[in-house]
Amino acid sequence: MRNRVIEATWFEYGGYGDADVLQERTEVVAPPGPGEVIVEVIATSLNHMDAFLRNGKESTWSDDPWPRRSGSDFAGIVVATGPHAEFPVGSHVVGHVRTGAHATHVTVPTSTLVRKPAKLMWEVAGALYLAGATALDTLDQLRIGPGDTVVVSAAAGGVGSIETQLAKHRGARVIGTCGERNFDYLRQLGIIPVRYGEGIVERIRRVAEGPVTAFIDNFGKDGRDIAQELGVADTRYRSSADRREVELSLLRDDPEAVAHGTGQLGRLVQLAEAGAFRLLVSGLYPLADIREAFEDLAELHSRGKIVLATRPVTTYRTIKAREVHEAMTGGYAA
Ligand SMILES: NC(=O)c1ccc[n+]([C@@H]2O[C@H](COP(=O)([O-])OP(=O)(O)OC[C@H]3O[C@@H](n4cnc5c(N)ncnc54)[C@H](OP(=O)(O)O)[C@@H]3O)[C@@H](O)[C@H]2O)c1
C-alpha cells in the first residue's frame, strides 16, 4: 500500500533565545526511509533541557545546522511506514527522538519506539521519555533498593515525581524536598515531604529515622553540602551536573544510546502500566500554545509534567491544583 501525502506542522528556531524564537512551520514530509515510520504525534512534553538547548545555556550539539527543532518525548499513531519497518500503520506507540517531537508528526527509526498499552493515557505516554529515563538511569546507577533512605530534591517536579515513586517501589524509604504546597501531593504517594531552605538538614534528620544512604539533587542548589552534612557517601550522591550528563546521553542518537533509551522507555511503560508510579499532568496545552507552556515550565513550580497535545479535547484551560493553592495562599514562597 502506498503512503499518503502527509503535511506536518512543527516548531523550529533560527537562533538562540527565549520561547518566543519558536516559529510554527508546516510542510509536506518526505516518505519514511528503510526501517523508518512517520508517527502522528498525539502528545509530547516539555523538558528544561529543550529550553537549555534553545537558549544556548547548553552548548552540546552547538554545531547542529539552523533552524533547529525541539522536543524529545512523544506518543502517537504510526501513519506511514518505510521498507522493513517493524510497526504497521495504525500502531499506537511511545517514542523518543533527540529533537523534533514538538510537532504534529515525527519521522523516526522504529528502534526508538515501543508499543503503547491501551491502558496508558496518551498524555502520560507522551511525557514519559526524558524525565522517566533520567529517573530510571539515576536509580539504577545508585542501585537504590530496600534498606535505602534516599533524599530526592525537587521531588514534586517532572523528574523528581517519577524518581521518588520508583525509589519507593524498589523498597526504599523516600524523603522528598518541596514547598509546602506539595506536601499533600507527596504524602499521597507515600513520600515524606520536607520543606527546602534554611534548616533543611535538621528537618531531614528528624524524619529519616536512621542514616540517609543516598541523595539525588535535581534542583542543583546546596545539594552536595546537604548530602555531606547528612553523611551520605560521595558514591551515593548525584548532582544536578550528573543529571545533565544522564539527560544528554539519553538524547544521543547513536545506535547504542538509542537502544539503551528505548530499553528504558520499555521499562517505564511497563512500570506505569503496572501502577508502580503515576505521572501527574501539571498542565495540558495545545501544541500551538508551546511558548506559553515553556513560560509555565520556567516558573519552576510544575507538579509532574507539562504536556502538549495535538488534539486537546477542550480548548479552555483546566485549573491546576497548584493554582488553587497559590490563589488561597498567595505567591510561590516556600
Ligand atoms: N542540571 C541539569 O542539566 C538540569 C536539567 C534539567 C533540569 N534541571 C533543573 O532541575 C530542576 C528540576 O527539574 P525537573 O525537570 O523536575 O523540573 P520541574 O518539573 O520544573 O521541577 C519543578 C519542581 O522544582 C521544585 N523546586 C522549586 N524551587 C525549588 C528549590 N529551591 N529547591 C528544591 N526544589 C524546588 C518545585 O517544587 P515546589 O513547587 O514545591 O517549590 C517543583 O515541584 C529544575 O530547576 C531544572 O531547571 C537541571
Quick: pLDDT tens for 75-88: 999 999 999 989 99
| 3-state DSSP of the chain | CCCCCCEEEEEEECCCCCHHHCEEEEEECCCCCCCEEEEEEEEEECCHHHHHHHHCCCCCCCCCCCCEECCCEEEEEEEEECCCCCCCCCCEEEEECCCCCCECEEEEEHHHEEECCCCCCHHHHCCCHHHHHHHHHHHHHHCCCCCCEEEECCCCCHHHHHHHHHHHHCCCEEEEEECHHHHHHHHHCCCEEEECCCCHHHHHHHHHCCCCCEEECCCCCCHHHHHHHCCCCHHHEECHHHHHHHHHHHHCCCHHHHHHHHHHHHHHHHHHHCCCCCCCEEEEEEHHHHHHHHHHHHCCCCCCEEEEECCCCCCCCCCCHHHHHHHHHCCCCC
Q: Is the CB of 220 under 6 A from ligand 1?
A: yes
Residue 282 CA, closest ligand 1 atom number: 19
Q: Is the CB of 243 under 6 A from ligand 1?
A: yes
Residue carrying the nine cell digits 546507577: 141
pTM, two decimals, is: 0.95
Distance of CA 4 from the midpoint of ligand 1 (Å): 42
List the residue whose alpha carbon is closest to atom 10 of ligand 1: 219
Residue 154 CA, closest ligand 1 atom number: 34
Instruction: Provide the residue type at 159 as one letter.
Output: V
C-alpha cell at 186: 507527596
Residue 67 or 311, more confident: 67
Determine the distance from the C-alpha atom of residue 309 to the mean position of all C-alpha atoms in its chain, rounded to a whole number.
15
List the residue whose alpha carbon is closest to atom 28 of ligand 1: 300
Q: Is the CB of 159 under 6 A from ligand 1?
A: yes
Half-sphere exposure of 134 (CA within 13 A, CB side): 31
Residue 297 CA, closest ligand 1 atom number: 20
List the residue whose alpha carbon is closest to atom 34 of ligand 1: 154
Distance of CA 2 from the midpoint of ligand 1 (Å): 46
Quick: pLDDT tens for 123-179: 999 999 999 999 999 999 999 999 999 999 999 999 999 999 999 999 999 999 999
List the residue whose alpha carbon is closest to atom 3 of ligand 1: 244
Contact 294/315 with Cβ under 8 angstroms?
no
Distance of CA 118 from the midpoint of ligand 1 (Å): 31
Closest by Cα among 213, 72, 196 to 142: 213
List the residue whose alpha carbon is closest to atom 20 of ligand 1: 300
Q: Is the CB of 87 under 6 A from ligand 1?
A: no
Residue 239 CA, closest ligand 1 atom number: 1
Distance of CA 248 from the midpoint of ligand 1 (Å): 17
Closest by Cα among 197, 198, 195, 161 to 177: 195
Q: Is the CB of 160 under 6 A from ligand 1?
A: yes
Quick: pLDDT tens for 177-233: 999 999 999 999 999 999 999 999 999 999 999 999 999 999 987 899 999 999 999
Which whole number is the average pLDDT over 39-51?
Answer: 98
Q: Is the CB of 300 under 6 A from ligand 1?
A: yes
Quick: pLDDT tens for 271-289: 999 999 999 998 999 999 9
List the residue whose alpha carbon is closest to atom 33 of ligand 1: 154
Distance of CA 240 from the midpoint of ligand 1 (Å): 10
ω into residue 67 within 30 of 0, thus cis? yes
Distance of CA 145 from the midpoint of ligand 1 (Å): 24
What is the percentage of the chain residues whose pLDDT exceeds 70? Answer: 94
Distance of CA 84 from the midpoint of ligand 1 (Å): 41
Distance between CA atoms of residues 278 and 264, nearest Å: 17
Q: Is the CB of 67 under 6 A from ligand 1?
A: no
4: confidence class by pLDDT, cuts 50, 70, 90? confident
Q: Tell me, what's the pLDDT at 257? A: 98
